[in-house]
Amino acid sequence: MIEKASVLIEALPYIKKFYGKTIVIKYGGHAMVDEELKNSFAKDIVLLKYIGINPIIVHGGGPQIGEMLKKLNIESTFVSGMRVTDKETMNVVEMVLVGLVNKNIVSLINSNGGKSIGLSGKDGNLILAEKLFFEEETFYKTPEIIDLGHVGKVKSVNAELLFDISKDYIPVIAPVGVGEDYEPYNINADLVAGAVAGAVGAEKLILLTDVRGVLDKTGNLISSLTVSDIENLKDDNIIYGGMLPKMDSVKAALNKGVKKVHIIDGRILHSVLLEIFTDKGIGTQIVL
């Protein structure tokens, strides 16, 4: 009982500090699949809301999209880890992210005592997107421009809509944007989370992953980084692959005024609470 009281006392200054603040959380990886982790995550989010913090959730769904495309016998093509998204594939992406994954997360939060609303970029023009063209260096050292179809990047975020909703509800955002041509665009969820955090002036951006955070060459956790450290770690091939869009999200958020970004292991029960309300945290925190 004394240990439980100590935990609450340790959390108290952080509860006071973040009261009334907005925290954007990118939800993805194993935490979206394992039933115990899913319920742990939902309870964390509901608790944040009840103690006066405004959480905004942005979710991924790559594995679920891949599974549905396989069932429908639609072949997936990737360029440097990005899914080429033609119109048929985009229909499936939207169906899975908005109609299935998003609603499941909303239901999970509501069933754990919260009040949540699901959104996509189309709702109230929440996420205006523009087409993303990928540049790949050729043998002759000249870039080849590759059209990825309905793959986009964030042009702007309707922060006012999120302010209104988050007063009473927990927004859950699917990373589907809408272009000026009113066509839907599939956007990397990490990049959406960074753009949303910057637009609403979030206190923190938290990215849930399937690793402990940023690791050094020997596999040890790097507990704290600055933006200038990121480029050095890229040059040393310590940051590569799936961590690269996360770092783009990190830089975008911090440059827009977000105070801290945290990359944490979503495979740990109550990882969000452990990162926010304990002195040491469990992942990598990044600041300007």
Q: Name 213's Cβ contacts closer than 8 Å, sequence gap at least 6.
A: 221, 222, 223, 263, 264, 265, 282, 283, 284
Q: Which pLDDT score is estimated for 139? A: 47
Q: Which whole-number Å values give the CA distances from 243 to 178, 215, 233, in the listed order? A: 25, 11, 11
Chain centroid to CA 155: how far? 17
Write out residues in the chain with pLDDT < 70, as ranges.
80-81, 135-144
Written as six digits, the tokens of 116 are 């949540």
Unique residue bearing structure tokens 């996420």: 127
29-85 pLDDT, tens per residue?
A: 888 988 999 999 999 999 999 999 999 999 999 889 999 999 999 988 877 667 889
List of domains in the chain? 17-287 (3.40.1160.10)
Question: Which SS3 state, helix, strand or coil, does residue 218 take?
Answer: coil
The reported pTM is 0.92
In single-letter form, the type of residue at position 35 comes to E
pLDDT at residue number 6:
85
CA distance 175 to 185: 9
